C-alpha cells in the first residue's frame, strides 16, 4: 500500500484535513452616489413598549432591582436604549391599548385602580402610567409615541389625553398634570389612532368604515386640542384577502387629519426552510409599495396637499413564543439576518416609510433580555444598532447582480439583499449586505459612481458559526465584528461570508 494513502484516513479522522470550502459565488453591486431614492427619517429606528409580560413590569420598570434608579426604572435598560440609538418608543400597546383607560394611570399611585388585562391576561397594577412613561422616555433620550384606545375608549378620553400631555396650564386636564407634578407640557408629537382595529382579536374590532368614522371624530378633536400633533391611522395588520380594501377605506375617511398609515408585519419560520424564511421580507416590500400606491390614489383623488407616510409601527420575527411563554422569543443568527433585511427594506423605501418600530424593547419579542439583575443582548440587537447608529441621511440607488436560490414556489431569491445610504452630515456612505446563503461566501465586486471615496473604510459584520447560534446571559455567540476595508479608487472586492450581515462604511472626500 502506498504510504501516502495510508495516512489520509487517519488525518481526516484526527480532524487535520479540512473539507475543502465550496468555491465562492460571485456578485456585483453598483452604487450611484448621486441617485437619491428617499431621505431617511430617524424615526425609522423606533421601538415599542407594551404592558405585556415582562416588558414594562420586570423590564423597563423593576423597582426591586439594584439596577433601578430612584424612580424604579432600570438604568441598564436605559443605557441599552441609548446604545441601540432608539429614536422613538410607542406605548402603551399594542392590543393592550384597546382597553386602556389612561386616567387609571395618573395621580397618586396608591389610589390607582387595578384592572384585569383582557388583552394578555393577568392584572394591570397601573404603577406605570402617562407621567411615569413620558418621564422615562425623556431620561432615555427617546421621543414618545402614544397609541390611544379606539377599541373600548371614548372620544373624550382621546381628546383629554392630548390636553393632559400637551396643554398649557389653565384648563382642567392640563392643570391635573400640573397637580401630578409636571407643570411643563410634555409636547407628545405623535399619536396613534388605535391598534390593529382590522383584527377580530382586537377589543373593539370594527369594520373599516366604522373605524374610519369613529377615528375621524377622534382625530378632529385631538388635532383641535393641539394642531402640532401628528396622527397615525390604524392600517393593515390582518393580511387577509381584503387588506388593501381596509387601507383604502381608512384613507378615504381619515385623509384630512392623518399623517401616517400604520402597517404591522411579523414574520416567522414555521413551515418554511431557511430560504423561504429569508424571502419573507420581499412580501413586505410589495405590501409597502402597494400601500404607497393606495396613499397616492387617495391624495390624487381628493387633492390632498399634506404628505401621508407609512409607519411600520410593529415589526419583528415572532414564531416561537406566544402567550404561554409571555412572548419571550429567543433569537438566533438567522433571525438577526431577517431583521437586517427588514431594515434594508425600510431604507430602500425611505421615501414613504417615515417611521418604524421594532416590537418590542425588552424581554417580549425583544432585542434585550433581563435575567435577574443582568441585561443581555439578543442577536437582533446588533443589526438594529448598526443601522440606527450609521444609516442616516439619504437612501441611494444600488444595483445588484447576484446568484439566485430557487424557491419551492418557483421564484428566484437573490442570495444577497442590499441597501445603500449616503450621509452628507458625516460625509460617509454605507452599503448594507445580507448574504442569505446558508453555506457559501459571495465574492462581490462593488463599484461606487458619482463621488470620491476616502479612507479608511470599515466593515462591521454580524455573523456566527451556525444560523442557529443564540446569545444568552453567559455567552455571546453573535455580536459585531469590525475589520478595516481596503479599496482602490472607487471600487472594492469584498467577500461576504455565508449567513452574514455586513455594513461597509466609507468616508467621502468630495466630488
| CB contact set of 90 (below 8 Å; sequence gap of 6+) | 46, 47, 48, 49, 145, 146, 147, 192, 313, 314, 357
For 58, the grid coordinates are 420586570
Q: For 467-484, give the DSSP string.
A: TT-B--SS---SEEEEEE
Q: How far is the CB of 358 from ligand AHR (least distance, A)?
A: 10
- Strand segments, DSSP code E, in 151-219 are 190-193
Is 93 a residue that touches ligand AHR (CB under 6 A)?
yes
As a whole number of angstroms, the distance between CA 339 and CA 508 comes to 27
Site residues (CB under 6 A) for ligand AHR, limited to 203-232: none
Q: Up-side HSE of residue 55: CA atoms within 13 Å toward CB?
A: 29
> What is the C-alpha to C-alpha distance for residues 278 and 128, in angstroms, rounded to an integer?
38
CB of 128 to ligand AHR, least distance (A): 16
CB of 313 to ligand AHR, least distance (A): 9
Work out how close the CB of 64 gets to ligand AHR at its nearest, in angstroms, rounded to a whole number.
Answer: 25
User: Which range in 92-100, 298-306, 378-386, 405-413 contacts ligand AHR by CB under 6 A?
Assistant: 92-100
- Which residue in the set 46, 53, 94, 192 belongs to the binding site for ligand AHR (CB under 6 A)? 94
Q: Which of 78, 163, 314, 334 is catalytic?
A: 314
Residue with cell 432615555: 140
Query: Left (φ > 0), alpha (ψ -120 to 50) or beta: where does 74 sit?
Result: beta
Nearest to ligand AHR of 331, 494 (CB atom): 331
Binding range to ligand AHR, per CB under 6 A, among 90-98, 281-289, 339-347, 402-410: 90-98
Nearest residue (CB) to ligand AHR, 53 versus 167: 53
The one segment of 87-95, 224-232, 454-462, 484-492 that binds ligand AHR by CB under 6 A: 87-95
Beta carbon of residue 227, minimum distance to ligand AHR (angstroms, whole number)? 28
Out of 67, 234, 360, 441, the residue judged to bind ligand AHR by CB under 6 A: 360
Binding to ligand AHR by CB under 6 A, coded x per residue (else -) over 288-327, reads --------------------------x-------------
> Of residues 196, 329, 334, 341, which has the active-site annotation?
196
CB of 510: closest distance to ligand AHR in angstroms?
45
Residue at grid coordinates 433569537: 331
- The rounded distance, in Å, linking the Cα atoms of 397 and 86 is 25
State which residue, 50 or 99, has the beta carbon closest to ligand AHR.
Answer: 50
Query: Least distance in Å: CB of 29 to ligand AHR?
Result: 34
Smallest gap from residue 390 Cβ to ligand AHR (A): 27
Footprint (CB under 6 A) of ligand AHR, residues 232-251: none
Number of residues written out for the chain? 511
Of 146, 250, 359, 504, which lies in the binding site for ligand AHR, with binding defined by CB under 6 A? Answer: 359
Alpha-carbon span 75 to 22, nearest angstrom: 47
Q: Spell out, one character per residue from 13 to 52, where the chain touches ligand AHR: x when CB under 6 A holds, - when not.
A: -------------------------------------x--
Q: Using CB under 6 A, which of 68, 195, 419, 461 touches ligand AHR?
A: 195
Residue 338 or 402: the one with the smaller Cβ distance to ligand AHR is 338
Burial 449-476 (b: 16+ CB within 10 A, else e): ebbebeeebbbbbbbbeebebbbeeeeb
Q: Toward ligand AHR, which CB reaches closer, 196 or 469?
A: 196
**101 vs 476, which CB is nearer to ligand AHR?**
101
Q: Using the minimum distance from each CB to ligand AHR, give the nearer residue, 119 or 288.
A: 119
Q: Are 482 and 503 in contact (CB under 8 A)?
A: no
Q: Catalytic residue at 470?
A: no
Q: Which stretch binds ligand AHR (CB under 6 A): 91-99, 269-277, 289-297, 370-378?
A: 91-99
Q: What is the DSSP secondary-structure string of 16-58?
A: -SPPPPPPPEEEEEEEEEEEEEEEEPGGGGEEE--SSTTSTBT
How many helices (H) and strands (E) would you count in the chain?
Answer: 11, 24
d(CA 295, CA 297): 5
Contact (CB, 8 A) for 20 and 440: no
Shortest spacing between CB 106 and ligand AHR, in angstroms: 22
Our answer to whether residue 314 is catalytic in this structure is yes
Number of residues that bind ligand AHR (CB under 6 A): 9
**3-class state of residue 339 by DSSP:** helix
Residue 350: which residues within 8 A CB-CB, separation 6 or more? 37, 38, 39, 40, 41, 44, 394, 395
Neighbouring residues of 109: CB distance < 8 A, sequence distance ≥ 6: 126, 127
| Distance (Å, whole) CA 259 – CA 406 | 40
Which sequence positions are flagged as catalytic?
196, 314
Sites of contact with ligand AHR (CB under 6 A): 50, 93-95, 195-196, 314, 359-360
Amino acid at each position: 500500500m502506498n504510504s501516502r494513502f495510508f495516512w489520509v484516513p487517519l488525518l481526516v479522522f484526527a480532524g487535520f484535513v479540512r473539507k475543502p470550502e465550496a468555491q465562492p459565488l460571485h456578485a456585483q453591486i453598483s452604487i450611484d452616489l448621486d441617485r437619491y431614492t428617499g431621505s431617511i427619517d430617524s424615526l425609522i429606528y423606533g421601538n415599542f413598549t407594551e404592558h405585556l409580560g415582562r416588558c414594562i413590569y420586570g423590564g423597563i420598570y423593576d423597582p426591586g432591582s439594584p439596577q433601578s434608579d430612584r424612580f424604579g426604572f432600570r438604568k441598564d435598560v436605559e443605557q441599552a436604549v441609548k446604545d441601540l440609538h432608539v429614536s422613538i418608543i410607542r406605548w402603551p400597546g399594542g392590543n393592550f391599548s384597546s382597553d386602556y383607560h389612561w386616567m387609571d394611570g395618573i395621580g397618586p399611585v396608591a389610589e390607582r385602580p387595578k384592572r384585569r388585562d383582557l388583552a394578555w391576561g393577568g392584572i394591570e397594577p397601573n404603577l406605570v402610567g402617562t407621567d411615569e412613561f413620558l418621564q422615562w422616555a425623556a431620561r432615555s433620550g427617546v421621543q414618545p409615541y402614544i397609541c390611544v384606545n379606539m377599541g373600548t375608549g371614548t372620544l373624550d378620553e382621546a381628546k383629554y389625553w392630548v390636553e393632559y400631555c400637551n396643554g398649557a396650564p389653565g384648563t382642567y386636564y392640563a392643570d391635573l398634570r400640573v397637580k401630578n407634578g409636571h407643570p411643563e407640557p410634555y409636547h407628545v408629537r405623535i399619536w396613534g389612532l388605535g391598534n390593529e382595529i382590522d383584527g377580530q382579536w382586537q377589543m373593539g374590532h370594527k369594520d373599516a368604515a366604522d373605524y374610519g368614522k369613529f377615528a375621524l371624530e377622534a382625530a378632529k378633536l385631538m388635532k383641535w386640542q393641539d394642531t402640532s400633533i401628528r396622527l397615525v391611522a390604524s392600517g393593515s395588520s390582518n393580511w387577509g384577502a381584503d387588506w388593501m380594501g381596509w387601507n383604502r377605506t381608512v384613507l378615504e375617511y381619515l385623509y384630512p387629519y392623518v399623517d401616517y398609515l400604520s402597517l404591522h408585519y411579523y414574520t416567522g419560520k414555521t413551515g418554511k426552510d431557511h430560504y423561504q424564511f429569508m424571502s419573507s421580507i420581499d412580501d413586505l416590500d410589495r405590501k409597502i409599495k402597494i400601500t404607497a400606491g393606495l396613499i397616492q390614489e387617495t391624495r390624487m383623488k381628493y387633492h390632498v396637499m399634506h404628505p401621508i407616510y407609512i409607519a411600520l409601527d410593529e415589526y419583528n420575527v415572532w414564531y416561537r413564543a406566544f402567550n404561554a411563554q409571555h412572548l419571550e422569543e429567543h433569537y438566533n443568527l438567522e433571525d438577526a439576518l431577517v431583521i437586517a433585511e427588514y431594515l434594508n427594506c425600510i431604507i430602500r423605501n425611505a421615501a414613504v416609510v417615515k417611521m418604524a418600530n421594532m416590537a418590542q424593547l425588552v424581554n417580549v419579542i425583544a432585542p434585550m433580555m433581563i435575567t435577574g439583575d443582568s441585561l443581555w443582548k439578543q442577536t437582533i440587537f446588533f443589526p438594529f444598532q448598526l443601522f440606527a447608529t450609521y444609516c442616516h441621511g439619504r437612501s441611494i440607488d444600488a444595483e445588484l447582480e447576484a446568484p439566485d436560490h430557487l424557491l419551492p414556489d418557483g421564484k428566484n431569491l437573490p442570495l444577497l439583499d442590499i441597501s445603500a445610504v449616503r450621509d452628507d452630515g458625516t460625509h460617509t456612505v454605507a452599503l448594507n449586505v445580507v448574504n442569505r446563503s446558508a453555506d457559501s461566501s459571495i465574492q462581490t465586486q462593488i463599484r461606487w459612481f458619482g463621488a470620491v471615496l476616502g479612507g479608511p473604510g470599515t466593515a462591521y459584520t454580524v455573523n456566527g458559526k451556525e444560523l442557529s447560534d443564540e446569545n444568552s446571559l453567559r455567552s455571546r455567540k453573535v455580536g459585531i465584528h469590525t475589520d478595516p476595508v481596503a479599496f482602490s479608487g472607487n471600487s472594492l472586492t469584498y467577500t461576504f461570508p455565508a449567513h452574514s450581515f455586513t455594513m461597509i462604511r466609507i468616508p467621502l472626500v468630495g466630488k
